[in-house]
Chains A and B, each alone.
Chain A
Amino acid sequence: MLTIKNLHARAEGKGILRGVDLEIRKGEVHALMGPNGSGKSTLAQVLAGRDVYEVSQGEVLYDGRNLLEMTPEERAHAGLFMAFQYPVEIPGVSNLYFLRSALNSLRKARGQPELDAMDFLHIAKQKAREFGLDESLLKRSVNQGFSGGEKKRNEVYQMAVLEPRLAILDETDSGLDIDALKIVANGVNALRHPDRAILLITHYQRVLNYVTPDYVHVLYNGRIARSGDKNLALHLEEQGYAWVEGQAPERPQVAGS
């Protein structure tokens, strides 16, 4: 589904990604871990099409298409969703209206009929119940005045409504108490599907107690330094990222290849 080959990216002249290789297939859940500044969020943003990053080398194929040539909305239309590390506030635009605009944009791009307000409301409320989102948040402005936990839950909720094919979650588990973490994890698990892939970017191991990944990768210095199964995460938890530093291979391994 997603093939990243030797991806290099930089921001303001500084190299952040230095040759990332990653293959994600349908139905898989990949966890990407790494210390601060290793390039995790940059990778997510580059995949979603944030143009503050300049891709200097490498390629990314998504269902055989050149992802890097697509605009952010085209990527979204093609089923790529990113849960933001720091979800953005949009004052005066209700969560519900925002999400309906988003869903209808996707439907329009896919040649499906747009949903009217009533049909959409039905779906939105049902998903809110399923994904443990307080319904009052639907009427409030997008992310405005939300607590950190509410923002993160709102991201997972949006993901549930938009039903992406490839979901990238950028540190959605950070700063959550244990109850909120379980809700987010349940949301991710509910989306697991043979046709869907999930890239779970995290700084902390705890979320992997609730979402079992098929692969765990460690990003270090802009490259994937280690890949393995869920035990790699446990190992990291015990050893800390310093362990990776001492172990970083010359040629990064390609996961799942």
Chain B
Amino acid sequence: MASQTKDLEKLVQQEYKWGWETLVEADTIPPGLNEDVIRVISVKKNEPQWMLEWRLKAYRYWQTIKEPTWANVHYGPIDYQAIAYYSAPRSNQDRPQSLEEVDPEILRTYEKLGIPLREQEQLAGVAVDAVFDSVSVATTFKKKLEEMGIIFCSFSEAVQEHPELVQKWLGSVVPYTDNFFATLNAAVFSDGSFVYIPKGVRCPMELSTYFRINAQNTGQFERTLIVADEGSYVSYLEGCTAPMRDTNQLHAAVVELVALDSAQIRYATVQNWYPGDKEGKGGIYNFVTKRGKCQGKNSKISWTQVETGSAITWKYPGCILQGDNSVGEFYSVALTNNYQQADTGTKMIHIGKNTRSTIISKGISAGHGQNSYRGKVQVLKSARGARNFSQCDSLLIGDKCGAHTFPYLEVRNPTAQVEHEATTSKIGEDQLFYCQQRGIPKEDAITMIINGFCKQVLAELPMEFAVEAQKLLGVSLEGSVG
């Protein structure tokens, strides 16, 4: 229609900038899944018996269950036998002990992504665990954190070095029986990050994991576990990208968070997996289970996510509010453009007294994008004085996209206070013209409108990443507003 719509659309159509591939020799096991494959993974990782048994239990259970179909997303059948379940850069076979031993190609990859891993170039105040395909290749600032008793390492390392902690908390929030994808992850997960913050310690820097899928036809199944002991605090951020390929790749991660008495965890995700091309070809299937347990009194977990990538996103970071007065928060911006689909939201389960939860969800749909918010607020009988506030806003750009809201509310305690707000609006010519008539140039107007819409969520991100996220939203939308 009008040229303004075209401009909006153009803005949305910008190319994916992270789509190159790194040529490194990889040690990839052939596609297919059976108990032997799981044993191979476990052997490669030199795992103790209990770890292998847990994997096998998960695998056996997985064979008895079916892929869920309730989400408002559509995709062809996934052939789980055609996926390779393990891929690692060959140079990583004996995990490098220092950055000097890391394959320079991989270091360059992270530099190109804006995540320098070399000590002198590291991002000030951010410790990074870099995960390349199935394994962690480097972790920065480890020593400094160790001095405070903070453990920040790859999951594989944690299994070797801190088996008692892993054994105690693994699966305590997301059991291996949780759901189809989480169960698959439990069977085949390769690596991920592990964090433990001891009692009373406030982690002095942002911890961050940067995930990169590189190899073709592999699935990525990482697993992250963060335990914040009594009175501790940690802020954690994950980022992710992948090369452009015209086949779909599966990413089925699990994140478990545990907050003990008065502990606080902030977990932020800037998800920018390859979304597929303009025709909807290729892209990552991002089927992720993330859950936090506010186990202790006065504990707090907040999830912030900016989801701009992936062909399909299926993700519901939730909080189990078990401790009295505990707080769960969910702040989300999900953007779907072209043929992207997102079914995302949260689950807040109020168990303890005076537990509180806040849900702010902002969905932006452009092109043929389909964006669903699916949220569940459950107030159990025991949750006297529980409070929830939910706000779900949808922004439509163009008239071929869709926004859907599925709020579920289950209140079993009469003293609960539950509030829900929802809006759906269309950005477009009207808003742009209004800004332009007041003298504001079109590009500035678009940025202003999108940022205004996402403001509440971006404010929850650590400063450096908020700026990144803003740019990312702008880029992902390029070509769609006009």
Judge: A and B partners, yes or no.
yes
Closest residue on chain A to residue B444 by CB atoms: A101
Residues in B with CB closer than 8 Å to A88 are: 430-431, 433-434
Residues in A with CB closer than 8 Å to B123 are: none
| Interfacial residues of chain A within 82-110, with CB under 8 A of chain B in the complex | 82, 84, 87-93, 98-99, 101-103, 105-106, 109
Determine the distance from Cα of A73 to Cα of B432 in the docked complex, in whole angstroms.
Answer: 10
Is B455 within 8 A of A158, CB to CB? no
> Which candidate, B23-31, B261-269, B445-453, is the interface stretch facing chain A?
B445-453
Is B3 within 8 A of A51, CB to CB? yes
Residues in A with CB closer than 8 Å to B437 are: 48-49, 72-73, 75-76, 81-82, 84
In terms of DSSP, what is the predominant structure of the interface of chain B? helix
Residues in A with CB closer than 8 Å to B433 are: 48-50, 72, 88
| Interfacial residues of chain A within 25-81, with CB under 8 A of chain B in the complex | 48-52, 71-73, 75-77, 81
Determine the distance from Cα of A103 to Cα of B439 in the docked complex, in whole angstroms.
Answer: 8
Residues in A with CB closer than 8 Å to B430 are: 88
Known: A102-B438, A103-B439; 5 extra A-B contacts, CB below 8 A, are A72-B433, A73-B437, A89-B431, A91-B425, A98-B448
Beyond A51-B3, A51-B4, A105-B444, whether A90 also contacts B439 by CB under 8 A is no
A141 at the interface (CB under 8 A from B): yes
Closest residue on chain B to residue A84 by CB atoms: B434
Is B436 within 8 A of A73, CB to CB? yes
A198 at the interface (CB under 8 A from B): no
Residues in A with CB closer than 8 Å to B429 are: 52
Closest Cβ–Cβ distance, residue A40 to chain B (whole Å): 17
Closest Cβ–Cβ distance, residue B461 to chain A (whole Å): 15
Which of B434, B442, B444, B449 has the most CB atoms of chain A within a 10 A radius of its CB? B434
Is B453 within 8 A of A105, CB to CB? no
Closest Cβ–Cβ distance, residue B361 to chain A (whole Å): 14
B463 at the interface (CB under 8 A from A): no
Beyond A48-B437, A72-B433, A141-B452, whether A91 also contacts B393 by CB under 8 A is yes
B14 at the interface (CB under 8 A from A): no
Chain A interface residues (CB < 8 Å from chain B): 48-52, 71-73, 75-77, 81-82, 84, 87-93, 98-99, 101-103, 105-106, 109, 141, 158, 162
Is A105 within 8 A of B441, CB to CB? yes
Which of B1, B433, B448 has the most CB atoms of chain A within a 10 A radius of its CB? B433
Closest Cβ–Cβ distance, residue B429 to chain A (whole Å): 7
Determine the distance from Cα of A52 to Cα of B440 in the docked complex, in whole angstroms.
Answer: 19
B2 at the interface (CB under 8 A from A): yes
Determine the distance from Cα of A50 to Cα of B437 in the docked complex, in whole angstroms.
Answer: 9
User: What are 14 residue pairs bridging A and B, where the CB atoms are less than 8 Å apart in the complex?
Assistant: A49-B436, A52-B429, A72-B437, A76-B436, A77-B439, A81-B438, A87-B434, A90-B449, A91-B452, A99-B438, A105-B439, A105-B444, A106-B439, A158-B438
Residues in B with CB closer than 8 Å to A73 are: 436-437, 439-442
Determine the distance from Cα of A134 to Cα of B417 in the docked complex, in whole angstroms.
Answer: 31
Residues in B with CB closer than 8 Å to A81 are: 437-438
Determine the distance from Cα of A106 to Cα of B437 in the docked complex, in whole angstroms.
Answer: 11
Is A89 within 8 A of B441, CB to CB? no
Closest residue on chain B to residue A71 by CB atoms: B436
Is B448 within 8 A of A101, CB to CB? yes
CB-contact partner of B440 in A49, A89, A102, A141, under 8 A: A102
CB-contact partner of B452 in A71, A90, A162, under 8 A: A90
Beyond A49-B436, A72-B433, whether A90 also contacts B448 by CB under 8 A is yes
Determine the distance from Cα of A50 to Cα of B435 in the docked complex, in whole angstroms.
Answer: 12
Chain B interface residues (CB < 8 Å from chain A): 1-4, 393, 423, 425, 429-431, 433-442, 444, 448-449, 451-456
Which of A51, A77, A81, A88 has the most CB atoms of chain B within a 10 A radius of its CB? A88
Is B439 within 8 A of A102, CB to CB? yes
Which 8 residue pairs spanning A and B have beta carbons closest together? A92-B452, A93-B452, A76-B439, A102-B438, A72-B436, A88-B434, A105-B439, A106-B439
Residues in A with CB closer than 8 Å to B438 are: 76, 81, 98-99, 102, 105, 158, 162
CB-contact partner of B425 in A49, A76, A89, A103, under 8 A: A89
Closest residue on chain B to residue A88 by CB atoms: B434
Residues in A with CB closer than 8 Å to B452 are: 90-93, 141
Which of B439, B441, B454 has the most CB atoms of chain A within a 10 A radius of its CB? B439
Determine the distance from Cα of A49 to Cα of B2 in the docked complex, in whole angstroms.
Answer: 12
Residues in A with CB closer than 8 Å to B2 are: 51-52
Beyond A76-B437, A105-B441, whether A92 also contacts B431 by CB under 8 A is no
CB-contact partner of A92 in B441, B444, B454, under 8 A: B454
Determine the distance from Cα of A77 to Cα of B433 in the docked complex, in whole angstroms.
Answer: 14
Closest Cβ–Cβ distance, residue B399 to chain A (whole Å): 15
Is A109 within 8 A of B439, CB to CB? yes
Is B434 within 8 A of A90, CB to CB? yes
Residues in B with CB closer than 8 Å to A72 are: 433, 436-437
Closest Cβ–Cβ distance, residue A172 to chain B (whole Å): 14
Closest Cβ–Cβ distance, residue A47 to chain B (whole Å): 10
Which of A77, A84, A99, A101 has the most CB atoms of chain B within a 10 A radius of its CB? A101
Beyond A52-B2, A52-B429, whether A92 also contacts B440 by CB under 8 A is no
Closest Cβ–Cβ distance, residue B397 to chain A (whole Å): 14
Closest Cβ–Cβ distance, residue A216 to chain B (whole Å): 25
Closest Cβ–Cβ distance, residue A158 to chain B (whole Å): 7
Determine the distance from Cα of A77 to Cα of B449 in the docked complex, in whole angstroms.
Answer: 20
Residues in A with CB closer than 8 Å to B441 are: 73, 105
CB-contact partner of A101 in B423, B434, B440, under 8 A: B440
Determine the distance from Cα of A171 to Cα of B360 in the docked complex, in whole angstroms.
Answer: 37
Residues in B with CB closer than 8 Å to A162 are: 438-439
Closest Cβ–Cβ distance, residue B367 to chain A (whole Å): 21
Is B453 within 8 A of A91, CB to CB? yes
Closest Cβ–Cβ distance, residue B236 to chain A (whole Å): 26
Closest residue on chain B to residue A161 by CB atoms: B438
Residues in B with CB closer than 8 Å to A141 are: 452
Residues in B with CB closer than 8 Å to A158 are: 438
Closest Cβ–Cβ distance, residue B222 to chain A (whole Å): 34
